[in-house]
A and B are shown apart, each in its own frame.
Chain A
Amino acid sequence: GAVVSQHPSRVICKSGTSVKIECRSLDFQATTMFWYRQFPKKSLMLMATSNEGSKATYEQGVEKDKFLINHASLTLSTLTVTSAHPEDSSFYICSARVKKREGWNTQYFGPGTRLTVL
Protein backbone atom coordinates (compact mmCIF):
# COMPACT_ATOMS: atom_id res chain seq x y z
CA GLY A 1 0.00 0.00 0.00
CA ALA A 2 0.79 3.72 -0.04
CA VAL A 3 2.18 3.84 -3.57
CA VAL A 4 2.89 7.13 -5.27
CA SER A 5 3.62 7.37 -8.98
CA GLN A 6 5.04 10.15 -11.11
CA HIS A 7 4.80 10.72 -14.82
CA PRO A 8 6.92 11.13 -16.80
CA SER A 9 9.97 9.60 -15.20
CA ARG A 10 12.24 11.52 -17.53
CA VAL A 11 11.67 14.49 -19.81
CA ILE A 12 13.89 16.56 -22.05
CA CYS A 13 12.59 19.84 -23.38
CA LYS A 14 13.77 22.95 -25.16
CA SER A 15 14.36 26.18 -23.33
CA GLY A 16 11.21 28.31 -23.18
CA THR A 17 8.73 25.46 -23.25
CA SER A 18 6.52 24.31 -20.40
CA VAL A 19 6.58 20.89 -18.83
CA LYS A 20 3.90 19.21 -16.73
CA ILE A 21 4.71 16.53 -14.16
CA GLU A 22 1.98 14.41 -12.62
CA CYS A 23 1.96 12.92 -9.15
CA ARG A 24 -0.63 10.30 -8.26
CA SER A 25 -1.43 8.40 -5.11
CA LEU A 26 -2.48 5.00 -6.39
CA ASP A 27 -4.09 3.29 -3.44
CA PHE A 28 -4.95 6.00 -0.98
CA GLN A 29 -6.41 9.47 -0.81
CA ALA A 30 -3.91 12.22 -0.21
CA THR A 31 -5.27 15.51 1.03
CA THR A 32 -1.76 16.89 0.96
CA MET A 33 0.99 16.44 -1.57
CA PHE A 34 4.46 17.92 -1.47
CA TRP A 35 6.82 18.86 -4.26
CA TYR A 36 10.56 18.67 -3.76
CA ARG A 37 13.52 19.51 -5.88
CA GLN A 38 16.79 17.66 -5.57
CA PHE A 39 20.01 19.01 -6.96
CA PRO A 40 22.86 16.64 -7.82
CA LYS A 41 24.40 15.15 -4.69
CA LYS A 42 22.25 17.39 -2.54
CA SER A 43 19.34 16.91 -0.22
CA LEU A 44 15.71 17.50 -1.01
CA MET A 45 14.42 21.02 -0.96
CA LEU A 46 10.72 21.48 -0.37
CA MET A 47 9.23 23.68 -3.06
CA ALA A 48 5.58 23.74 -2.13
CA THR A 49 2.78 22.05 -0.25
CA SER A 50 -0.29 21.22 -2.28
CA ASN A 51 -3.69 20.81 -0.67
CA GLU A 52 -6.62 19.36 -2.57
CA GLY A 53 -8.99 22.06 -3.71
CA SER A 54 -6.93 24.99 -2.53
CA LYS A 55 -3.94 27.03 -3.57
CA ALA A 56 -0.51 25.63 -2.99
CA THR A 57 1.75 27.06 -0.32
CA TYR A 58 5.17 27.87 -1.68
CA GLU A 59 8.42 27.93 0.23
CA GLN A 60 10.39 31.11 0.42
CA GLY A 61 12.37 31.74 -2.73
CA VAL A 62 10.27 29.49 -4.96
CA GLU A 63 8.62 31.35 -7.84
CA LYS A 64 4.95 30.47 -7.83
CA ASP A 65 4.43 31.80 -11.34
CA LYS A 66 7.18 29.58 -12.64
CA PHE A 67 6.24 26.42 -10.79
CA LEU A 68 2.49 26.08 -11.09
CA ILE A 69 0.91 23.51 -8.85
CA ASN A 70 -2.60 22.14 -9.17
CA HIS A 71 -4.13 19.61 -6.80
CA ALA A 72 -7.32 18.77 -8.63
CA SER A 73 -8.34 15.65 -6.74
CA LEU A 74 -7.43 13.53 -3.75
CA THR A 75 -5.19 11.39 -5.93
CA LEU A 76 -3.59 13.83 -8.37
CA SER A 77 -1.32 16.83 -8.15
CA THR A 78 0.53 18.40 -11.05
CA LEU A 79 3.60 20.58 -11.24
CA THR A 80 4.05 22.68 -14.35
CA VAL A 81 7.42 24.25 -14.97
CA THR A 82 6.61 27.24 -17.17
CA SER A 83 9.07 28.70 -19.66
CA ALA A 84 11.71 26.26 -18.56
CA HIS A 85 15.37 27.21 -18.68
CA PRO A 86 18.52 25.10 -18.25
CA GLU A 87 18.79 26.12 -14.60
CA ASP A 88 15.46 24.40 -13.99
CA SER A 89 17.02 21.08 -14.88
CA SER A 90 16.75 18.93 -11.79
CA PHE A 91 15.19 15.88 -10.20
CA TYR A 92 11.66 16.65 -9.04
CA ILE A 93 10.09 14.41 -6.42
CA CYS A 94 6.58 14.46 -5.06
CA SER A 95 5.27 12.93 -1.88
CA ALA A 96 1.82 12.36 -0.50
CA ARG A 97 0.58 12.35 3.02
CA VAL A 98 -1.66 9.45 3.90
CA LYS A 99 -5.06 10.51 5.03
CA LYS A 100 -6.25 9.10 8.37
CA ARG A 101 -3.65 6.36 8.46
CA GLU A 102 -0.65 5.90 10.71
CA GLY A 103 -0.72 9.38 12.10
CA TRP A 104 0.00 12.67 10.55
CA ASN A 105 3.48 12.89 9.33
CA THR A 106 4.28 9.88 7.20
CA GLN A 107 4.97 10.96 3.65
CA TYR A 108 5.27 8.48 0.80
CA PHE A 109 7.46 9.50 -2.07
CA GLY A 110 7.16 9.08 -5.77
CA PRO A 111 10.05 7.79 -7.90
CA GLY A 112 10.92 11.24 -9.19
CA THR A 113 11.06 12.97 -12.56
CA ARG A 114 14.34 13.92 -14.19
CA LEU A 115 13.91 17.18 -16.09
CA THR A 116 16.56 18.27 -18.55
CA VAL A 117 16.16 21.62 -20.27
CA LEU A 118 18.32 22.14 -23.34
Chain B
Amino acid sequence: AQSVTQPDIHITVSEGASLELRCNYSYGATPYLFWYVQSPGQGLQLLLKYFSGDTLVQGIKGFEAEFKRSQSSFNLRKPSVHWSDAAEYFCAVGPFSGGYNKLIFGAGTRLAVHP
Protein backbone atom coordinates (compact mmCIF):
# COMPACT_ATOMS: atom_id res chain seq x y z
CA ALA B 1 0.00 0.00 0.00
CA GLN B 2 1.11 3.51 -0.70
CA SER B 3 2.03 5.50 2.39
CA VAL B 4 4.11 8.36 3.66
CA THR B 5 5.71 8.41 7.09
CA GLN B 6 6.96 11.48 8.86
CA PRO B 7 8.50 10.05 12.02
CA ASP B 8 8.76 13.34 13.88
CA ILE B 9 5.46 14.84 14.97
CA HIS B 10 7.03 17.87 16.56
CA ILE B 11 10.50 19.40 16.29
CA THR B 12 11.94 22.42 18.04
CA VAL B 13 15.10 24.15 16.85
CA SER B 14 16.86 27.37 17.70
CA GLU B 15 16.87 30.19 15.20
CA GLY B 16 19.97 29.91 13.04
CA ALA B 17 20.35 26.20 13.60
CA SER B 18 20.17 23.67 10.80
CA LEU B 19 17.04 21.63 10.18
CA GLU B 20 16.24 18.23 8.76
CA LEU B 21 12.71 16.88 8.53
CA ARG B 22 12.40 13.23 7.72
CA CYS B 23 10.09 11.62 5.21
CA ASN B 24 9.88 7.99 4.15
CA TYR B 25 7.52 6.64 1.56
CA SER B 26 6.19 3.33 0.42
CA TYR B 27 5.28 3.25 -3.25
CA GLY B 28 5.44 0.59 -5.92
CA ALA B 29 6.96 2.71 -8.65
CA THR B 30 9.11 5.79 -9.00
CA PRO B 31 7.18 8.44 -7.15
CA TYR B 32 6.68 12.11 -7.54
CA LEU B 33 7.60 13.65 -4.20
CA PHE B 34 6.59 16.93 -2.64
CA TRP B 35 7.09 19.04 0.43
CA TYR B 36 4.42 21.50 1.46
CA VAL B 37 4.34 24.02 4.28
CA GLN B 38 1.22 25.16 6.09
CA SER B 39 1.16 28.20 8.33
CA PRO B 40 -1.57 28.40 10.99
CA GLY B 41 -5.01 28.73 9.42
CA GLN B 42 -3.55 28.77 5.93
CA GLY B 43 -3.58 26.46 2.96
CA LEU B 44 -0.55 24.56 1.76
CA GLN B 45 2.33 26.14 -0.07
CA LEU B 46 4.59 24.04 -2.28
CA LEU B 47 8.20 24.20 -1.11
CA LEU B 48 9.71 21.88 -3.66
CA LYS B 49 9.10 18.80 -5.73
CA TYR B 50 11.01 15.91 -7.22
CA PHE B 51 9.96 14.31 -10.47
CA SER B 52 13.21 12.94 -11.91
CA GLY B 53 16.84 13.82 -12.56
CA ASP B 54 19.07 15.38 -9.95
CA THR B 55 18.20 13.85 -6.62
CA LEU B 56 18.98 17.04 -4.72
CA VAL B 57 16.26 19.57 -5.37
CA GLN B 58 16.19 23.19 -4.38
CA GLY B 59 13.03 24.89 -3.28
CA ILE B 60 11.78 28.20 -2.10
CA LYS B 61 12.72 29.90 1.16
CA GLY B 62 16.16 28.26 1.22
CA PHE B 63 14.87 24.70 1.55
CA GLU B 64 16.27 21.69 -0.22
CA ALA B 65 15.46 17.99 -0.23
CA GLU B 66 17.29 14.88 -1.27
CA PHE B 67 15.69 11.84 -2.85
CA LYS B 68 17.34 8.60 -1.80
CA ARG B 69 15.80 5.68 -3.59
CA SER B 70 17.72 3.07 -1.59
CA GLN B 71 16.28 4.45 1.63
CA SER B 72 12.87 5.42 0.23
CA SER B 73 13.43 8.81 1.75
CA PHE B 74 12.94 12.42 0.79
CA ASN B 75 14.22 14.48 3.70
CA LEU B 76 13.83 18.22 3.83
CA ARG B 77 16.74 20.39 4.94
CA LYS B 78 17.57 23.98 5.63
CA PRO B 79 21.02 25.16 6.76
CA SER B 80 19.82 28.03 8.93
CA VAL B 81 16.28 28.28 10.25
CA HIS B 82 14.45 31.58 10.62
CA TRP B 83 11.68 32.27 13.13
CA SER B 84 9.27 32.63 10.22
CA ASP B 85 9.84 28.98 9.32
CA ALA B 86 7.70 27.88 12.26
CA ALA B 87 4.83 25.99 10.63
CA GLU B 88 3.53 22.53 9.79
CA TYR B 89 5.41 20.65 7.10
CA PHE B 90 3.87 17.90 5.01
CA CYS B 91 5.61 15.41 2.79
CA ALA B 92 3.51 13.93 -0.01
CA VAL B 93 3.86 11.34 -2.74
CA GLY B 94 2.02 11.21 -6.04
CA PRO B 95 1.60 8.65 -8.80
CA PHE B 96 3.97 8.26 -11.74
CA SER B 97 3.42 8.60 -15.50
CA GLY B 98 1.09 11.48 -15.63
CA GLY B 99 -1.64 10.23 -13.41
CA TYR B 100 -3.26 12.94 -11.40
CA ASN B 101 -4.81 10.85 -8.74
CA LYS B 102 -4.57 11.71 -5.13
CA LEU B 103 -1.55 12.97 -3.31
CA ILE B 104 -0.82 10.87 -0.27
CA PHE B 105 0.24 13.03 2.63
CA GLY B 106 2.24 12.23 5.69
CA ALA B 107 0.88 13.18 9.08
CA GLY B 108 2.99 16.31 9.17
CA THR B 109 5.80 17.67 11.34
CA ARG B 110 5.17 20.75 13.39
CA LEU B 111 8.25 22.94 13.58
CA ALA B 112 8.77 25.37 16.44
CA VAL B 113 11.63 27.86 16.35
CA HIS B 114 13.17 29.27 19.52
CA PRO B 115 14.66 32.75 19.33
Footprint of B on A, CB under 8 Å? Answer: 4, 6, 32, 34, 41-44, 46, 49, 59, 93, 95, 97, 103-112, 114
Contacts and interface: CB of A to CB of B under 8 A. Distances in A.
Given A34-B102, A46-B102, A104-B100, A111 B42 contact: yes
Contacts of A107: 103
The 5 closest A-B pairs by CB, nearest first: A109-B44, A111-B43, A109-B43, A105-B94, A104-B98
Contacts of B99: 104-105
Contact of B103 (A4, A46, A110, A112): A46
A49 B101 contact: yes
B49 A106 contact: yes
Identify the interface centre among A32, A104, A111: most chain B CB within 10 Å of its CB.
A104
Contact of A109 (B36, B41, B51, B101): B36
Contact of B41 (A43, A49, A104, A114): A114
A49 B102 contact: yes
A34 B100 CA distance: 10
A32 B102 CA distance: 11
A14 B31 CA distance: 43
Contacts of B106: 43
Given A109-B44, A112-B42, A43 B90 contact: yes
Counting chain B CB atoms within 10 Å of each CB, which of A41, A43, A106 scores highest? A43
Interface in B1-54: 32, 36, 41-46, 49, 51
Contacts of B95: 105
Given A106-B46, A109-B45, A32 B100 contact: yes
A49 B99 CA distance: 13
Contact of B46 (A97, A108, A112): A108
Pick the most buried of B32, B42, B100, B107: most chain A CB atoms within 10 A of its CB.
Answer: B100
Contacts of B44: 44, 93, 95, 109
A96 to B, nearest CB: 11
